[in-house]
Structure 1
Amino acid sequence: MVSAVFHSPLDASIPLPLPLPLPRAGEGRGEGVTRVEAAPHPSPLPKGAREEKARRSIDLRWFWMRVLPPLAGFGLLVLIWELVALRSTNGFPSPLETWKQALDVFSDPFYSKGPNDQGVGWNVLSSLQRVALGFGLAAAVGIPAGFAIGRFEFLSRMFNPLISLLRPVSPLAWLPIGLLVFKGANPAAIWTIFICSIWPMIINTAVGVQRVPSDYMNVAKVLNLSEWKIITKILFPAVLPYMLTGVRLAVGTAWLVIVAAEMLTGGVGIGFWVWDEWNNLNVKNIIIAIFVIGIVGLLLEFALIKIATAFTFEEVKS
């Protein structure tokens, strides 16, 4: 007699029993059966070792991406400089000779042996003083003018042609006008700094005012705010990043122009120092002055970038 067993569909959900582990060789029944063991997993590194490995990889990446490229660039500059000095027949100084001369120059940068013989420190300070005066006057005039031109369409249409006409003029073209009007080399140099620094501040400030969202101005109209409230509470916070960008560009332009202006006007200043050393055929001091001008300009640019970043909103930075 054949009997059949019918399983209910509910029985399908019952899990099957797991297979028993195989016995080892010579253990219990089935002595010929051997147990297959899985390969052991490598033990993970301790937490301190993993952190040390990650830190080393970050340090190496920082060195390769941040430190090595500038060093390679300066090394290439020194190599080209050395090759030019070796092939020169008119006594062009080598990097080593210039370095020795720089040590001698900066051993006493603030000596004074008369109005035409002063250390490089006094010359740099005199140039920075002229830049500060000319730039300060340009900021006092240019930033309010930029607010007015950007705020009122009539003033924008009135002054835009004049700005477009005068802005491309070389700054040194204004130097004879300053000498004629002010009757002195120092005021003429400050005037040149003023006229070349004012355009970036006017243009950037006006563009910032024009890019303020119209919703802000509509809210000001609804609240019936005064013009002073609109400028101080709405326009100034929104325009500040644009204004600081104009200030940064103006300072860079001013530092470029003052060197050329001092070459023509004379007196005390880094530009006059370069021209005086050329008259003395001291090329090593001219090269030193070039590096000094570049380092001071770099420091000014870096300081203004930090100030602009500190006063810039996150959405503008991104």
Structure 2
Amino acid sequence: MNTMVHGVIRDPASSTAEIKTIVSTPPAEAMAVPLPAKEKKQARFSVSLKPFFLAILPPMLGVGLLILIWEIIAIKTSSFPSPWVTLQEAIKVFSDPFYQNGPNDQGIGWNIFASLKRVALGFGLAAAVGIPLGFLIGRFKFLSGMFNPIISLLKPVSPLAWLPIGLLVFKSAHPAAIWSIFICSIWPMIINTAIGVQRVPQDYMNVARVLNLSEWKIFTKILFPSVLPYMLTGVRLAIGTAWLVIVAAEMLTGGVGIGFWVWDEWNSLNVPHIIIAIVVIGLVGLILEQILVAVARAFTYDDVPS
């Protein structure tokens, strides 16, 4: 380390001349050695690539681990298809996803489309009923006391338990499946919307009373903007429930749909197609959720509660 001597001090109390040197180290700026331009460029390049690797590398390792476990299971179990065999079957399945050879022999594209139509109908009806009901329950204590016991009683019921009721009432598998989606999707929307209304700051409501605002003004100017993040969270939860329910319902009711396709392939002992269907079900559910996350971010300023 380089040092600089600024001066000397003679101590008069000492019989001998004691010289004290005042030593200081130069500041860090003076010691810093500038990096060459090439090294600066490399440093900037490595910093810019770090977020990319953090975003890509962990998912790739996770998928690689899943494939490795899959391969080990396939080696240990002769009847279980390997990843390579499943990939070859997937190429065949998706080479013509919209073929039609009869009412019960259609491509996977038509089955996914049929399931999405049922989900759209059941989910849409649940939103049309559940969101307004959630606002009313959160806004009025009388309605909250009236509906809370009903919700607490029916919410834990398994989705498939509602299917026989739908078959009994509607006498057909298609509306029964839509009924099952409706009754299981409505609870998250009601509960989250009601919680959002109840968490609106009381000061806002006091100001509304002072200004003598109408219920419509209170809803459009105060309640709806405050409740929107909670409402969209309920919608996200409901779409996941709806997609789960339709797969199970179609396994029991038959017809056209991704759930029936899984059951039909099991009856044919076509295990690679079952694995393909599992991956497709997961991807479609992920896409539906990401669409709703994008909608939530577009209509709210803050992060949507998870």
Asked if these proteins are the same fold (TM beyond 0.5), I'd say yes
Partner of 1:10: none
Using the TM superposition, give the Cα deviation of residue 58 of structure 1 relative to its aligned residue in structure 2, in angstroms. 3.3
Distance 2:262 2:46 in 1: 46
Any conservation in 1 of the 2:229–2:305 contact (CA below 8 Å)? no
Distance 1:232 1:138 in 2: 21
Partner of 1:291: 279
Q: 2:41 matched to 1:55?
A: no
Using the TM superposition, give the Cα deviation of residue 233 of structure 1 relative to its aligned residue in structure 2, in angstroms. 1.1
Any conservation in 1 of the 2:230–2:304 contact (CA below 8 Å)? no
Using the TM superposition, give the Cα deviation of residue 310 of structure 1 relative to its aligned residue in structure 2, in angstroms. 1.9
Q: 2:56 matched to 1:83?
A: no
274, 277, 284: which one aligns with 2:262: 274
Q: 2:34 matched to 1:44?
A: yes
Equivalent position amino acid for 2:44 in 1:
A
Q: 2:176 matched to 1:188?
A: yes
Using the TM superposition, give the Cα deviation of residue 46 of structure 1 relative to its aligned residue in structure 2, in angstroms. 5.5
Partner of 1:241: 229
Equivalent position amino acid for 1:77 in 2:
L
Any conservation in 1 of the 2:131–2:190 contact (CA below 8 Å)? yes
Distance 1:258 1:127 in 2: 7
Distance 1:244 1:137 in 2: 16
Cα gap change, 1:49 to 1:112, in 2 (>3 Å): same
- The runs of 5 or more residues in structure 1 that have no matched partner are 1-17, 20-37
Query: Residues 211-259 of structure 1: CA distance to partner in whole angstroms, max 9, x if unpaired?
Result: 0001110111011111111111110010000000000000000001100
Q: 2:232 matched to 1:228?
A: no
The aligned runs of 1:1-318 (5 Å cut-off) are 43-45=33-35, 50-63=40-53, 65-89=54-78, 91-314=79-302
Using the TM superposition, give the Cα deviation of residue 190 of structure 1 relative to its aligned residue in structure 2, in angstroms. 0.2
Q: CA-atom RMSD, angstroms?
A: 2.0
Cα gap change, 1:265 to 1:316, in 2 (>3 Å): closer
Using the TM superposition, give the Cα deviation of residue 47 of structure 1 relative to its aligned residue in structure 2, in angstroms. 6.2
Distance 1:52 1:201 in 2: 51
Any conservation in 1 of the 2:233–2:305 contact (CA below 8 Å)? no
Between the two proteins, the alignment pairs up a number of residues equal to 280
Instruction: Give the greater-gyration-radius structure (CA).
Output: 1
TM-score, length-scaled by structure 1: 0.84
